[in-house]
Amino acid sequence: MFKNIKLVTFLALALTLFPAASYAQMKVGFVNLGKVIEKAPQGEAAAKKIEAEFSPRSNALRKKQKKIQGLENDLEKNALVMKASERSKKEAEITKLQRSLKREADEFNEDINLRRNEKLKILQKVVREAVNEVGKENNFDIILAEGVLHVSDKADITDLVLKKLSSK
């Protein structure tokens, strides 16, 4: 009877100590995903591509804004010498242009945000693949990203991931 109790106690003690010993051997890394996404060459290339794609629309919106400002300045300067009907007509034209500009700006912002989200999704997939490759190449058991309160420089593998992305 005592032999069984001793055996059970020994096994319970061994099982509780075994996981602790295996955790001490684990290799853990951390990746700052925000930094990786910001500095990855693929992210910079995507940003330039988006800028090139949307710059004509952005320029058109700026031109429209300048036109509205010109009309507002003209109205302000000449309001005292204009007939009331002419002034009302000019104000209505400015209001119509402002509404149109706001609508176009909202559509522009929505379109550019959609495109950024598409590119970000692709970039996140590439980053995830690079993190997995770095993890396998360097024999990491766990690689953490978000929600970490403290990381030593020894565990931070962000630069390794950036190097991996630069080589792609």
Mean pLDDT of the chain: 85
Is residue 40 within 8 Å of 160, Cβ to Cβ? no
The pLDDT assigned to 7 comes to 44
Give Cα 102 to chain centroid, integer Å. Answer: 26
List 142's β-bridge partners, or say none. Answer: 28
The pLDDT assigned to 148 comes to 75
Residue 19 pLDDT greater than 80, yes or no: no
Find the mean pLDDT for residues 107-120: 96
Per cent of the chain over pLDDT 70 is 86
Helix 84-137 to helix 41-78 angle (10° resolution) is 170
The pLDDT assigned to 89 comes to 92
Find the mean pLDDT for residues 137-165: 85
Domain that holds residue 33: 25-166
Q: Is residue 20 a part of any domain in this protein?
A: no
Sign of CA dihedral 38, 43, 45, 48: negative
The pLDDT assigned to 130 comes to 92
Helix, coil or strand: residue 142: strand
Q: Is residue 1 a part of any domain in this protein?
A: no
Backbone angles phi, psi at 46, to 5 degrees: -65, -40
How many domains, in total, are found in the chain? Answer: 1
What is the chain's Cα-based Rg?
Answer: 31
Q: 40 — alpha (psi -120 to 50), left (phi > 0) or beta?
A: beta
The pLDDT assigned to 118 comes to 95
Q: Is residue 68 a part of any domain in this protein?
A: yes
* SS3 per residue for 31-52: CCHHHHHHHCHHHHHHHHHHHH
Q: Read off the CATH number of the domain in which 86 is found.
A: 3.30.910.20
Q: Is residue 102 a part of any domain in this protein?
A: yes
What is the per-residue pLDDT across 23-73, written as a single tens digit (0 to 9) for each?
Answer: 557 888 899 998 998 899 999 999 999 999 999 999 999 999 999 999 999
Q: Is residue 36 a part of any domain in this protein?
A: yes
Residue 10 pLDDT greater than 60, yes or no: no
Backbone angles phi, psi at 143, to 5 degrees: -125, 120
Is residue 54 within 8 Å of 115, Cβ to Cβ? yes
Give me 157's structure tokens.
Answer: 């593998």
For 133, counting Cβ atoms within 10 Å of its Cβ (0-12 exposed, 13-18 middle, 19+ buried), the class is: middle
What is the per-residue pLDDT across 117-140, written as a single tens digit (0 to 9) for each?
Answer: 999 999 999 999 999 999 999 988
